[in-house]
Chain A
Amino acid sequence: MKEIRFIYHPDNALEKAGRSAEPLHGEAERTCPNCHVTMKESAFRNSNWTCRCGYHFRLGARERITMIADRKSFQELFQDIVSTDPLSFPSYEEKLRKAQAISGEKESAITGLCTIGGFDAAIFAMDPNFMMGSMGAACGEKISRLFEYASEHCLPVVGFTVSGGARMQEGLLSLMQMAKTSGAVKRHSSKGLLYITVLTDPTTGGVTASFAMEGDIILAEPGATIGFAGARVIEQTTRQPLPKGFQTSESLLSHGFVDAIVPRSEMKAAISSLLRMHRRAI
C-alpha cells in the first residue's frame, strides 16, 4: 500500500472553509493542499474532488451524498432537527449561525434514504464545514433516528463520517450522544442488518469512539486522519515523535481496524457491491 501522508494546513483558507476562491478570470480555481497544484474547480469536480497526487478534498455532506446516491434517489429525513444551546454556552449560538451560513446546512449530519446502484439504503453524511462535523444532541438524534428507521424498515445503513468529535459547547449532552447512537446501532445490528461506515478525513474523538467504528464493514478514504485522541495532544503528552503515517487510514488498515481503503472514484461501486452481497440468500 502506497503511503500517503497529507498535511493539513489550517491556514489554507480554501481548504478550511471548503469554499472556492473568488474567480479571477472566469472560472474559480482551487489549490491542492497536498501538492499545491492549482487547477480549475471544474477539473477537480470532474475527478470527484481528488487531485492527481491522490489527495482527497474534504467534501460537504450534500456533495458526498450526490456522489454516492443514484441520481434523484435521495430523500432527506429528519431535516427539521437542529441544534439548540442547552447550556447557554458563551458564543455558541453565534457559532451555530456561522456554521449554518458556511455549510448551508442546519446540522452537522444529513440523514435520509436513497438507492445506491439500485439497492435501497438509509444514508448519513457528516459535514466538515459545520463545526468540523462535531456531534451535538441534534446530530446524535438524527443518527439515532436514522438507525431506528432503518431497523423498522429493514434497511442497511451507509454512513460517511467526518468529525472533530463530540461538540463541547453542549457538554455532557453531547457526550451522551455517543451512548445513544451506539445503542441505536446495536439494535439495528441485532436485527441482522448491515451497517457500512466510510471514514473520511478527519474522523476523531467521540465519533471515532462511537458509531464510526461500529460498522460491520469499515471503509476509509485514502490518507484520512482517523483516531481518538488528537495527534498534537499525544505528542505533547508523551513527548515522543509520532511514527510515520500515525493515525492515517493506511495505518489503521495495517493495525486491523479498517477493512479496506477505497479511493473516491471506486467508492460507489464498492458500496453497491457490498450491498448486493449482503442481500439475504433466503
Chain B
Amino acid sequence: MDAYERVRIARKTDRPTAADYIGSCFSSFFELHGDRRYRDDRAIIGGIAMLEDMPVTVIGIEKGHTAAERVEHSFGAPEPEGYRKALRLMKEAAKFQRPIITFVDTSGAYCGIGAEERGQGSAIAENLMEMMDLPVPVIAVLIGEGGSGGALALATANRVWMLENSVYSVISPEGCASILYKDASLADAAAENLRLTAQDAYSFGICERIIPEDDIGSPSFYKKLSSELYSEMQKLLQIEDIKEDRYQRFRAFGSGVAI
C-alpha cells in the first residue's frame, strides 16, 4: 500500500476517534473541562478513568464522527486553549502520581487568526517543555493523523504507539507538495518522500509499537489494546527516573549527525 493511501485511511471519518478509545479501553471515565484560563476547547477531551485497577489520566484529540460532532470538536484541530487544557490535566495527573495516556488524531493545530493571537506557538512550546518534566509515565497512541507540532504537543511521551494505518508527519503531504512542487496535487509523491507511515516511524525508532488494525473498532481490538496499555504502564512504573527515560528517548533523534 502506498503512503498516500495510508493518509486517506488515517483521515477516514468512520475510523474510531479518541472518544471511542476512551469509552472502550477504560472504565469510569470522568470528563474534566476547560483550561482554567479562558475556555473549554472541545477539540481536546480529557479526564480521569480506570485502566483495569489503575487510575489514569486520559486525554485525546477528538475529531467526531457526524457533521455536528466534527464542528463541535473543530475537526480535531486544537486552539491554544486545547493545549493548555491538556497541560492542566497532565499537571493534575502529576500531582496525584497518575500515569497519562494520550490519543492523538489531528491534521494539525488550529489555523486561525484568534489561535495565533492567543499564542498557538507558545502553547505548543509550553506543552513540549512541561511534558518533558512530567514525573509520571506517559504513553501516546497515534490513532489517525499525527499532524506536526499540533500532534507532538500531546505525544512528548515515554512510549509512542501508532495504529497500523495512522500517519505522523512534520507537514501534510499537500502542504509539502505545494511548497516544494508548487502543486498540491502531487501530495502522493510528497507523502512517499516524507516517510510518514507507522512503519517508517517504527524504523526510525519514533514509534515503539505498531497496532494491527485487522479488527479495529471491535470489542476484542479495544480489549487487547487496553491490556497492552496496562502491561506497558506497569513496566514504565518500574523505571526509576521516568523523566530521564523520556529525555533520552527524544535526545537520541538525530544525535548521530555529528561527524
Contacts and interface: CB of A to CB of B under 8 A. Distances in A.
Interface SS majority for chain B: helix
A200 B129 CA distance: 22
Interface residues of B, number: 52
Contact of A206 (B118, B122, B129, B148): B148
A175 B257 contact: no
Interface residues of A, number: 64
Interface stretch (B14-22, B42-50, B96-104, B246-254): B246-254
B250 A180 contact: yes
Contacts of B201: 172
Contacts of A187: 132, 247
B128 to A, nearest CB: 4
Interface stretch (B65-73, B109-117, B214-222): B109-117
B109 A228 contact: yes
A282 B200 CA distance: 51
Specify the main secondary structure of chain A where it touches its partner: helix
Nearest to A175: B170
A247 B253 contact: no
Nearest to A208: B121
A103 interface: no
A208 B80 CA distance: 13
Contacts of A84: 257
A212 B133 CA distance: 18
Contact of A242 (B113, B122, B128, B196): B113
A242 B191 CA distance: 30
Interface of B: 109, 111-113, 115-122, 124-126, 128-133, 148-149, 152-153, 156, 168-171, 175-176, 179-180, 193-196, 200-201, 204, 206, 246-247, 250-251, 253-255, 257-259
- Sorted from nearest, which 6 A-B pairs have the closest CB atoms? A137-B254, A208-B121, A182-B128, A228-B121, A209-B124, A176-B253
